[in-house]
Structure 1
C-alpha cells in the first residue's frame, strides 16, 4: 500500500506497517483544543446539530489546563476521508475559538 507524503499519509503508513487493517471500520478519534470550557461546550453543541455528528468527550489536560474535545467517528480510515473530516471538524472548531490537534485510532480494532 502506498500513502501520500504528508503527516496523515505517514500515520497511515505506520499503522499499515504495524498490521492495522485499514480496509475495515475503526473508531477514528479527532482531537480539538480550546482555551475556555465555554468554547468547547459550544463546539460540542454545534456538532450535535451537524449533519455529521460524532460522539464527543470533553477532557481537561492536567498539565496545560486546555480543554480537549475528542470527536469519534466509526469509519474506514481512508486518507481522503480522514482529511475531509479533519478539515470539517477544524473549520467548525475555528468558529468556536478552537483548533485541531490531530487524529488517531485508539479502538480495539487497532493493533499497537
Structure 2
C-alpha cells in the first residue's frame, strides 16, 4: 500500500513495515498540547461531555513543559481518516488555545509483559 509523502503517510508506512495490520481498528492516540492548565482542563471537560467515542487523559508533559491531552480513538488507521481526525482535533484544541502534536499507536513489543513481576527470579525452568 502506498501512502502520501508527508508525516502521516510516513507513520502509516512505518506501521505497515512493522507488521501492523492497517485494515483492523486500532487505538490511535492523538496528542493535544496546551500552555495553560485551565485551558487544557476546559478542553478535557468539553470532550468528556461530548459524544466522543473514545478515551481522554490529561497530564503535564514534563519534557515539553506543556499540558498534554491524549485522545484515544478506536479506528481503522486509514490515511484520510487520520488526517480528518487530526484536523478536527486541531480546530477543537485551537478553541482552547492549544494545538495537536501528532498521533501514534501503542504497539506490543516482543519482551513486553504488562503483568511482569519484578520480584520474580528467572531460572532455567521458566517457560516465559
Same fold at TM > 0.5: yes
SS of the aligned residue for 2:82 comes to helix
- Given the alignment of the two structures, is residue 13 of structure 1 paired with residue 13 of structure 2, yes or no? yes
Distance change >3 Å, CA 48–CA 99, structure 1 → 2:
same
Aligned-pair CA distance for 1:53 = 4.2
SS of the aligned residue for 1:2 comes to coil
Give the 5 Å matches for 1:16-95.
16-95=16-95
- RMSD of aligned alpha carbons: 1.6
Distance (Å, rounded) in 1 between the aligned partners of 2:63 and 2:14 = 28
Distance (Å, rounded) in 1 between the aligned partners of 2:58 and 2:49 = 17
Distance (Å, rounded) in 2 between the aligned partners of 1:107 and 1:26 = 10
Distance (Å, rounded) in 1 between the aligned partners of 2:23 and 2:53 = 22
SS of the aligned residue for 1:22 comes to coil
**Higher Cα radius of gyration:** 2
Distance (Å, rounded) in 1 between the aligned partners of 2:48 and 2:23 = 28
Residue by residue, what CA displacement relative to the aligned partner does 1:59-99 show, whole Å, maximum 9, x if unpaired?
11223431000000000101011111111111000000001
TM-score with structure 1 length normalisation? 0.90
SS of the aligned residue for 1:41 comes to helix
C-alpha contact 1:61 1:67 (8 A) present in aligned 2:
yes
The 10-residue stretch of structure 1 (11-20 or 55-64) with the greater mean CA deviation from structure 2: 55-64
Aligned-pair CA distance for 1:5 = 1.4
